[in-house]
Structure 1
Amino acid sequence: MKLILCVLSCLSVAAFTYAQPIDSLRVSLSQAEEIFIKKNLLLAAEQYNIDAAQALEIQAKLYPNPEFSADLHGYDTDTRKVFYNNRSGQKGFAIEQLLLLGGKRKHEMALARQNTQLAVLEFEDLVRQLKYNLRTNLYTVHFHLKTVEKYNKQLTLLDTIISSYQRQAEKGNIPLVDVVRLKSTYMKLTNDKSEVLQNILQAQQELQVLLLTDHFIVPDLDNINWQNYTNLPALDVLQQQALTHRSDQKIGTLNKTIAGLEVKYQKSMAVPDLTAGAAYDQQGDAFRNQYNIKLGIPLPLWNRNQGNIKMAKAKEKQAAVKGELVQQNLFAETRAAWYNMGRSISEYDKTTAIYNEDFTHVLKGVSDNFLKRNITLLEFVDFFESYNETTAELYRVQQQLITAAETINYVTASPVF
């Protein structure tokens, strides 16, 4: 039993040492978000989508290049001269310009502008999602570290009691089974602490990726005003905020606009474009030094872009359906977050009404009386385990409440809390 207890203690100490290395970084919420905006690689990659879309805006504004051609006399069979292009020879030049008709260029520029706006909204939605992950992981680490701190104090207290009882058992004053029972309680608490440490490490992994750091993140969240989290706005108010501010809702609306513009663009593609130009021919045509004007236009007899127009109309209907689906999901997410927040507030109010500093005072009194043998081992262990469960439950309820509040902020894309 001593060997098992020693191994568990060493593992616990090693885990906690690993969880809080010397090169830790203590940050508040605002500091963490500032680092996140500056360093997150996924945001940096997504920013290039905006740059690419803006580049396509520039491209859409450009006119087609004119085409220049030259017709030079390569070989004269009569004179047997090569490149016979002097005044008595032959040469011709032509320049042509494609003139886009039907509003193609206008629609293409409109599509490019809307696609840039789409890239911006997608970037904003990514920021919203990653900020939610950042904040919830910070809260996870904060409350789990507080739980570990409580566990460490209880393990220290229990270790003192076990040492005292071990000496008494060796003298034959108390039965050895009491020592074994205390060690079993110690092992259970150590195991509970190890599970909490594992959760801390998982959250740390996500935080280090989000903040691009190899430091252990220690959240500075001791100034939480819990009164700010006990008033829940009406559901319809939250749903209206979500409709107004959610990037994915704006994306759904914008996709319908883009789909409508695509239909107009494909219809404009059915309009034939005009090719206009001028040509000079030295003596290859009917007259010497002939100057010509050239006009050309395709005849839309078979290909009037019917398939692409039909596809664009189908995409427009699809975008409308998807937009409705986004709105329904938004309402459902907001409703679920609202119910969860209400439940969390109720649970928090009940827990804080029960838990107070009396628990700590009573634990000290119970521990002292147990050492004086005024209470039984069963009574001590029962209260000790209940105290630790209550402490862990308090932090769980607090974390649940503040995470539920962050979910409200996330689903509404608004700083409600």
Structure 2
Amino acid sequence: MTIKLFSYILFLPILLLVCGLPSQTQAKQTDTLSVTRVEAERIFLERNLALLAEKLNLDQADALILQAKAWPNPSLEISEVNFWATPHQVAYGDGNPPLFRNGFGENRQLSAQLDQLVQTARKRKKNISLQVANRQLAEVAYSEVLLSLKAEFRTLLSELQFQQNNVRILQQQMQVLNQLIRAQEVQLRSGNISKADFYRVRALDLSLRAELKEALQERNEVQQSLKSLLLLPAETTIYLEDSPNISRSSYLLTQPLDSLLARAEKYNPDVRVAQSDLRVREAEHTLERAMRVPDLTFNANYDRGGNILLNFIGFGVSMDLPFFDRNKGNIQAAQIGVQQGRYLHTLRVQEARNEVVRAYSDYVELADLYESIDETYINELDDVLAGVSRNFQRKNISLLEFLDFFDAFKDNKLLYFDTIRSLESKKEELNLLIGSDI
């Protein structure tokens, strides 16, 4: 008995400590990151791996420019070296005196040649221009990825805001409905209401629970996408702090359609990529035209014992004779590539204009819908819902009237928040199409 009591006293503090501390899993499940839109975007720009990887293409392009600026290395060749000479060769030959006083190199033959390639037709400069054009293309591609990811990220933030409001509305309705069900249970036991009316309210409760479950799943999907873009731990829950009530003036377009079209023709990401790609194709064509001119290779050679002179030093130059290959195929292919680039650039400009007109029209229609919604009416719906519930309990209104308002409350609230979400998404689409924020 004493041993058991002693064991209990010994392990009781440990048991209390273990039970009192939350597990690591439980701690991770409660991690919540509350941020504003500005704070979330700052984290996104600092930590997004796709942006960081795309930015490395700029460093890679800089390295290729550095490599293009390097001159060709000279080439050194040493040949015709004999490591020994037989007595017969020495007796019947002229023989060579040693190179140095210690006898090194006596009766030895060797040849050395130094070659240096010199590019003609300014090939080196044109290759540098090609790499610079590739660098500009990489820079424009990075800007395109940045704008696309920012538009996607901001749209996801708007979606998260909508889902948060959707969950809040359903939870608010369930809270009102739970209070009503408890009151209805008392009335049912007293025989003041019919079982059919009570079950109709219970059926509405089950329907709301199913909708809430679906809303929570949709919110989790948005959370998953945002956490991937923000590089956050999987256990983190993101909560957007921004208020859903946004100033109406922020949705007024201050620029006419013609101005947006002009900006899209210059700054649309796809147009800029097509324009940069055209510059690369033109630089490739210029380089291929220069490649038809043969390069020159200058050489200086030294020969010992293999010529009429004991120590012979000579100079020379070599070049390919462009009899059979004048690089016509590559020049023609590059010229066709330039024409393709021009067609694609014109196509991207036309596509950008069409997309801007469509997005602008959609935005104006959504802005008109938003202007038609009375914010005061939307804000007062919460108090009206509580009043309608009380009037139903007091039998001042019928079950059908209560159910109609209950559905209208949710539909009107969601319409308001969905309009805001659609406006923000369409605005980000316009920002992407014109290459900057409106």
Task: Give the TM-score, by structure 2 length.
Answer: 0.86
Alignment of 1:168-317 (within 5 A): 168-214=187-233, 215-222=236-243, 224-231=246-253, 233-317=255-339
**TM-aligned CA distance change 1:334 to 1:305, over 3 Å:** same
Counterpart code for 1:24: T
Counterpart code for 1:326: R
Q: Determine the C-alpha separation between the residues in 2 that align with 1:294 and 1:286.
A: 18
Q: Determine the C-alpha separation between the residues in 2 that align with 1:318 and 1:55.
A: 28
Contact 1:111–1:262 (8 Å) recurs in 2: yes
Q: Determine the C-alpha separation between the residues in 2 that align with 1:196 and 1:389.
A: 14
Contact 1:121–1:248 (8 Å) recurs in 2: no
Cα distance, 1:79 vs. partner?
4.7
**TM-aligned CA distance change 1:69 to 1:413, over 3 Å:** same
Determine whether 1:66 maps to 2:74.
Answer: yes
Residue aligned with 2:378, SS: coil
Counterpart code for 1:343: E
Cα distance, 1:80 vs. partner?
7.1
Alignment correspondent of 2:360: 338
Cα distance, 1:166 vs. partner?
1.6
Q: 5+ unaligned residues in a row in structure 2: which ranges?
A: 1-25, 91-95, 99-103
Alignment correspondent of 1:122: 141
Cα distance, 1:353 vs. partner?
6.6
Q: Determine the C-alpha separation between the residues in 1 that align with 2:383 and 2:45.
A: 45
Task: Give the TM-score, by structure 1 length.
Answer: 0.90
Q: Determine the C-alpha separation between the residues in 2 that align with 1:357 and 1:316.
A: 59
Cα distance, 1:59 vs. partner?
0.6
Counterpart code for 1:206: S
Q: 5+ unaligned residues in a row in structure 1: which ranges?
A: 1-17
Q: Determine the C-alpha separation between the residues in 2 that align with 1:217 and 1:80.
A: 91
Counterpart code for 2:208: L
Deviations, residues 97-138 of structure 1 (Å, cap 9, x unaligned): 011111110110000111111111111110100011111111
Deviations, residues 225-257 of structure 1 (Å, cap 9, x unaligned): 232103353211111122232333222112112
Alignment correspondent of 1:348: 370
Counterpart code for 1:218: Y
Determine whether 1:89 maps to 2:108.
Answer: yes
Determine whether 1:53 maps to 2:61.
Answer: yes
Determine whether 1:100 maps to 2:119.
Answer: yes
Residue aligned with 1:65, SS: coil
Cα distance, 1:358 vs. partner?
4.0
Contact 2:117–2:296 (8 Å) recurs in 1: yes
Contact 2:83–2:108 (8 Å) recurs in 1: no
Contact 2:284–2:334 (8 Å) recurs in 1: yes
**TM-aligned CA distance change 1:306 to 1:175, over 3 Å:** same
Q: 8, 15, 38: which one pairs with 1:30?
A: 38
Q: Determine the C-alpha separation between the residues in 1 that align with 2:184 and 2:128.
A: 83
Deviations, residues 372-403 of structure 1 (Å, cap 9, x unaligned): 11211111111111111111111111211222
Deviations, residues 266-306 of structure 1 (Å, cap 9, x unaligned): 11111111110111111202322111102111100001111
Alignment correspondent of 1:394: 416
Which one has a bigger Cα radius of gyration? 2
Residue aligned with 2:362, SS: helix
Alignment correspondent of 2:17: none
Counterpart code for 1:113: V
Q: Determine the C-alpha separation between the residues in 2 that align with 1:91 and 1:357.
A: 99
Residue aligned with 1:76, SS: coil
Q: 421, 425, 428: which one pairs with 1:406?
A: 428
Alignment of 1:37-48 (within 5 A): 37-48=45-56
**TM-aligned CA distance change 1:253 to 1:219, over 3 Å:** same
Counterpart code for 2:183: S
Q: Determine the C-alpha separation between the residues in 1 that align with 2:180 and 2:207.
A: 16
Deviations, residues 65-107 of structure 1 (Å, cap 9, x unaligned): 10111121244355579x9971432112111101111111011
Residue aligned with 1:97, SS: strand
Alignment length, in residue pairs? 397
Alignment correspondent of 2:399: 377
Contact 1:24–1:217 (8 Å) recurs in 2: yes
**TM-aligned CA distance change 1:21 to 1:139, over 3 Å:** farther
Counterpart code for 1:69: E
Determine whether 1:154 maps to 2:176.
Answer: no
Determine whether 1:137 maps to 2:156.
Answer: yes
Q: Determine the C-alpha separation between the residues in 2 that align with 1:396 and 1:300.
A: 70
Residue aligned with 2:373, SS: helix
**TM-aligned CA distance change 1:77 to 1:326, over 3 Å:** farther
Q: Determine the C-alpha separation between the residues in 1 that align with 2:407 and 2:85.
A: 109
